[in-house]
Chains A and B, each alone.
Chain A
């Protein structure tokens, strides 16, 4: 399948990309209903994406890809890496550090509620036996949450604490999905441990 067709060219905001009857406005472009025209809204390369053969709308989509790199932003369904900042009786709050493989540029806070910690026996979860402040957690973004924080979930085998420090200050080794052990003191601490791929 041919992904991009037609020669790409540089455009600046306000340049006409085509008629509304012939193309659809994608990212970096907008459609003005007054004169039925699609204009560019960013500076960058123009590209035409052919319509998928399934959709009834057979107009190609015109996009402008800019150069400026905006930081990654968490959205529902994305896997994030977060650092736990506070553990309360019914929820734990965490600062999101990475979205997928990209690090974020601004501060985003997330909340793991008690019912989202694990998939089974969700009402018996003790937050203090699942997370500690400072733990690095892999979590799934459930929703945009309230005005303050994203709602995160660790209710999957591969989600949960991926790295934690013991009271002695060493990085702990996972033992089971609920326990981690300190290599220095041999002390066992309770966590909701993630099953990291490539680990038995």
Chain B
């Protein structure tokens, strides 16, 4: 199948190095300590953060750092064909784990011993790159909750189809079976916290593809920073002098 037309356009009309439109919103769940909505093109996710709070299950309590928990779910209506029982399958457990590890790497857990932080992410609409969108939403929600972090974590995927590196794959490109590299970085510290790849790539091409994904992450980080600053300004304005 042709994923990049001779004119250099992808199936959805993007250039190979172009990202989908990203949009974020802070404060989507009123009850949560921090929450956010994040969309990358047609992929839409919502994240809610609770905590730091007392550990529910005492046997899980860690005496010198916070316990981070994460739950990833997909809404029944998020994909084209309705899934009957989406919770607890292997895919969501794996993504929950991946998001938890990524977020744990950036939260300053040693500041909040014997407490627990819960991150809930739900996919409202899935169109590829849900993992990345969830991580971005979780970062935004954590920052909204005022949880101390080393840096923002942002994530973006990139692939390699028709001998072209493509940034931010959508569902059709994702299910083409080509290599799909998901990268999560701490943009200011220049550190990688997540790197996953399906399929194989030669080393030199992999480096290009990963570099492309990192560029995507940095663009998202800039957007998230602007969003946070704008939100803080708004809050201060509403609070008054």
Could you tell me which A residues sit within 8 Å of B by CB distance? 10, 12-16, 28, 30, 32, 39, 41-45, 66-68, 70, 106, 147
Contacts and interface: CB of A to CB of B under 8 A. Distances in A.
Q: Is the interface on chain B under 10, 10 to 19, 20 to 34, or 35 or more residues? A: 20 to 34
Secondary structure call for the A interface: loop
Contacts of B236: 67
Given A14-B152, A14-B189, A68-B33, A30 B143 contact: no
A35 to B, nearest CB: 9
Interface stretch (B13-21, B125-133, B226-234): B226-234
A43 B34 CA distance: 13
Contact of B233 (A10, A30, A32): A10
A28 B148 contact: yes
B54 interface: yes
A42 B143 CA distance: 7
B210 interface: no
B150 A14 contact: yes
Nearest to B54: A106
Given A30-B150, A39-B151, A44-B232, A14 B144 contact: no
A68 B228 contact: no
Contact of B232 (A10, A16, A30): A10
B233 A13 contact: no
A144 to B, nearest CB: 10
Interface in B215-241: 224-225, 228-229, 231-233, 235-236, 239
A34 to B, nearest CB: 9
A67 B151 contact: no
A4 B36 CA distance: 33
Contact of B143 (A12, A16, A45): A12
B108 A30 contact: yes
A43 B228 contact: yes
Contacts, number: 67
B107 to A, nearest CB: 9
10 contacts: A13-B149, A13-B152, A14-B188, A28-B148, A30-B148, A39-B188, A41-B148, A42-B149, A67-B236, A68-B146
Q: Which of A10, A41, A106, A147 has the most CB of B within 10 A?
A: A41
Nearest to A35: B189
Interface in B33-78: 33-34, 53-54, 58
Contacts of A16: 188
Contacts of B189: 14, 32, 39
Contacts of A28: 148
B112 to A, nearest CB: 11
Given A67-B235, A106-B54, A41 B33 contact: no
Contacts of B143: 12-13, 42-43
Residue among A12, A16, A45, A68 having the largest count of chain B Cβ atoms under 10 Å: A12
A41 B152 contact: no
B150 A66 contact: no
Contacts of B58: 147
B34 A41 contact: no
Contacts of B24: none
Nearest to A44: B232
B159 interface: no
B135 interface: no
A33 to B, nearest CB: 13
B54 A12 contact: no
B183 interface: no
